[in-house]
Amino acid sequence: MPKKPQSRNSRASTQTAGRTGVVTKNVSEESTAEPGSVPQSALSWRNMYALVPVLLALLTSVNTLWNHFAGDDLEQILNNSFIKTFSNLPAAFTKSVWSFTAADIVFTVDPYFRPMFSGLFTINYALFGNKPFGWHLISILTHGGVTFLVFMVTREITERNWVAGLTASLFAVHPVHAESVAWISGITDPLMSLFLLPSFLFYLRFRKGGSWYLLLLSLGFFFLALLSKETAIAFPLIVGYCELFHFRREDQITRRLGRAAQLVALFVVPVLLYLAMRYYALGNVILSAQPRYPLGQSILTLPLVLLKYLGLMAIPWGYSYQHTITFVETPASIAFLAPLAAIIALVVCIVFVKSRLVTLGAVWFLAMLTPALLALREFEPASLLQERYLYAPSFGVCLIIALGIEWVTARFASPGRAIGAALAVLLILVWSVVLIRQNRTWNDTVSVYRNSVAVDPDAPLAHVLLARSLYDAGRPREAEAEARTTLNMDPHCATAYLSLSYFTRVSGKLDKACEILEDGVSAVPESTMTRQDLATMYLNLGLLYQQRKMFDLAEEKLLRSAQVSPRAVAWYYTGQFYFEQGRYDEARVQFEQTSAAIPRWFAPIHLRLGMTYEGLKDTARAQMELEKYLELAPADAPDREATRKHLQDMRGVPAKNK
């Protein structure tokens, strides 16, 4: 394990002048205390420096208090029975985030295991109920807390209050954070950061010669970060980098590798525990067994996505819930070569600067963004690039910018102070104005998607998602007009056909809804990029034809859906179709395939299997499946009481008098 290093004072001037490559003065007056402590002479300055960014975080986010619920908030808060009682809290550690939709097979493939998120929402609901003001207040306070931790971590790394204060101030007001702070359901990233930054802070203090309890605290906070959001899993990469490169002195590479291996192994322990809990809750440790997009095209698209993320960090313009990304199909494409060249140029610049702190900022940014980049092929088209994924990584960029301003200040002596201060104030002011404006775009669901259309009016998907939000807001004519606009822009947009069909079906025009979907499956070319959307259209067609009693067409479309994209939802509804036709053996096959592919907690599959086995005269297996349904089904499940009575009748047990 790492040896206790020399005192901070003996390192300070070397690190500041030679090793960071940024500042040339000695800061030993800030570095004479014991590891992990703060010099008494700097205590008042430290408090003042920390107060400024926290106030900035609160003031630039206070206008979110008057926002309403938006997007997933409607389901996660207003329609979430799970968070409305504390007795459900233990289940947060054994089920997915969307498990409250217990009767909907679509959500059984939900890949999100975030117990701390579900626990926070349970507490919030007990405090604030359906009033959005209190929910937004918690988000603002969380952002303020994370900003303070950014200050603490930066000061621990740099041992300079000025850089820490500036880094935290930039973090506090960066406009890219609006999605994470102004949107209640976006709190997952701030919540994860609220635990991950203390983990890094305690690791740094342990690494500087602190006691073992600091390492234990670091491991504990890291585990809580994992339970908040899965992207925290990248943190051991940062620890490994720090051990190998950031803290190196004259040690041989073999000794550094040994220390790095030991520490990273310790941080893998919480990862393994998290993965075990995740597997128990979801039945998998990865996002999906069947990604939406090909691996090759996803890899080719990574430089483009990474460059767009960097653009969102550098240019305070064009912020939106949705960013259009077109997958790159060939390595000869300019969409691959140009972003790759730009990223290589940035890497060369970072190497040329020869600053360990700048390099650490870049490593933090890339490492914390890596899970989102690797999961690119799993996301739906509207979610390929999301601003909330930048919340934790943005710390690294803010650190680099703060170091750059500090370099300007030091390079030009007396005028440099004025230049540096002017740059800092101008940047904070511009970002604050943009952030305050962007907060208001999260007022409600319609305003979110109106902003998406305003930012990218030529994006068909922006229009169709606005159409869905307008329909849900009770404005069907405007919704249909937006969906028609989408098809005029892109006749191959599967989501537009699905939305128009949905609007028509709800109005009772089943024949028209089928016609729209038939047009859709004819217009959308089948490829690896479109298979899931096509499969959804075929599935919806099958269910519509079943409602219209056109059973041959219904079976054809349902089977086609499973052929285009084999998945649990297709097998489940095909099984229901066969069951209702009295074709029990075919239903059994479909339901057993479904059961093998979904988490163990999805109760309805056991009810379907139980009734199917009963139809096949297999009474023993039917009773076993019905018992399993009663074990797993929520207390308020509509079929629960009827199933209990039916099971008693099967056993010949008289019902108890109430």
Q: Identify whether the C-beta of residue 461 lies closer than 8 Å to the C-beta of residue 487.
A: no
Q: Which of 93-102, 114-123, 564-573 has the lowest mean pLDDT?
A: 93-102
Give me the chain's average pLDDT, please: 89
Q: Is residue 483 part of a domain?
A: no
């259009």: which residue's tokens? 324
Q: Is residue 35 part of a domain?
A: no
Q: Is residue 361 part of a domain?
A: yes
- Looking at residue 654, its pLDDT comes to 54
What is the rounded distance in angstroms from the CA atom of residue 228 to the CA atom of residue 231? 9
- Residue 585's domain comprises 579-658
pTM of this structure? 0.89
State the average pLDDT over residues 135-161. 97
Q: Is residue 228 part of a domain?
A: yes
State the average pLDDT over residues 618-624. 94
- Looking at residue 294, its pLDDT comes to 86
- The CA-based dihedral angle spanning residues 11, 409, 358, 143, taken in that order and rounded to the nearest 10 degrees: 100
Q: Does residue 36 carry a pLDDT above 60? A: no
Q: Does residue 265 carry a pLDDT above 80? A: yes
- From 406, 440, 474, give the residue that closes a domain: 440
Q: Is residue 492 part of a domain?
A: no
In the chain, the percentage of residues whose pLDDT exceeds 90 is 72
One domain for residues 223 and 370: yes
Identify the band that residue 88 occupies on the pLDDT scale cut at 50, 70 and 90: confident
Q: Does residue 6 carry a pLDDT above 50? A: no
Q: Does residue 14 carry a pLDDT above 50? A: no
Identify the band that residue 28 occupies on the pLDDT scale cut at 50, 70 and 90: very low
State the average pLDDT over residues 537-555. 97
Angle at Cα 186 formed by Cα 183 and Cα 188, nearest 5°? 150
Identify the band that residue 289 occupies on the pLDDT scale cut at 50, 70 and 90: low
Q: Identify whether the C-beta of residue 473 lies closer than 8 Å to the C-beta of residue 445.
A: yes
State the average pLDDT over residues 457-472. 95
Q: Does residue 11 carry a pLDDT above 50? A: no
Q: Is residue 549 part of a domain?
A: no
- From 407, 440, 473, give the residue that closes a domain: 440
State the average pLDDT over residues 634-657. 78
- From 418, 440, 462, give the residue that closes a domain: 440
Q: Is residue 171 part of a domain?
A: yes
Listed in sequence order, the residues at least 6 apart from 591 whose beta carbon sits closer than 8 Å to its beta carbon are: 571, 572, 575, 579, 605, 608, 609, 612
Q: Is residue 27 part of a domain?
A: no
- With helix as H, strand as E and coil as C, how does 494-557 read? HHHHHHHHHHHHHCCCHHHHHHHHHHHHHHCCCCCCCHHHHHHHHHHHHHHHHHCCCHHHHHHH
State the average pLDDT over residues 145-151. 97
In the chain, the percentage of residues whose pLDDT exceeds 70 is 90
- Please name which of 429, 97, 128 lies closest in space to residue 230, comparing C-alpha atoms: 97
Domain at 610, CATH number: 1.25.40
pLDDT digit string (tens) for 380-423? 777 889 999 999 999 999 999 999 999 998 887 677 788 889 99
Q: Does residue 347 carry a pLDDT above 90? A: yes
Q: Does residue 469 carry a pLDDT above 90? A: yes
Identify the band that residue 133 occupies on the pLDDT scale cut at 50, 70 and 90: very high
Report how many domains make up the chain: 2
